[in-house]
Amino acid sequence: MDFNFSIGWLFGGLAITLAGGLIVVFYRQIAENLANGVSSYDKVKLFGIITIIIGLICTANLHIILLTLLFNLLFGR
Give 54's contacts (C-beta < 8 A, 6+ positions apart): 16, 20, 63
In a domain, 31, yes or no: yes
Q: Is residue 1 part of a domain?
A: no
In a domain, 29, yes or no: yes
pLDDT at site 49: 96
* 2, part of any domain: no
- pLDDT tens digits along 16-49: 999 999 999 999 988 888 877 777 888 999 999 9
Kindly state whether residue 66 falls inside one of the protein's structural domains: yes
Q: How many domains does the chain have?
A: 1
Are residues 51 and 25 in contact, defined by beta-carbon separation less than 8 angstroms? no
Quick check: is 12 in a domain? yes
Question: Does residue 37 sit within a domain?
Answer: yes
Say if 27 falls within a structural domain: yes
- For residue 25, the tally of other CB atoms under 10 A from its CB is 11
Between residues 24 and 3, which one has the greater pLDDT? 24
pLDDT (tens digit per residue) in 40-72 = 888 999 999 999 999 999 998 888 888 888 899
Q: Domain containing 28: what range?
A: 7-75
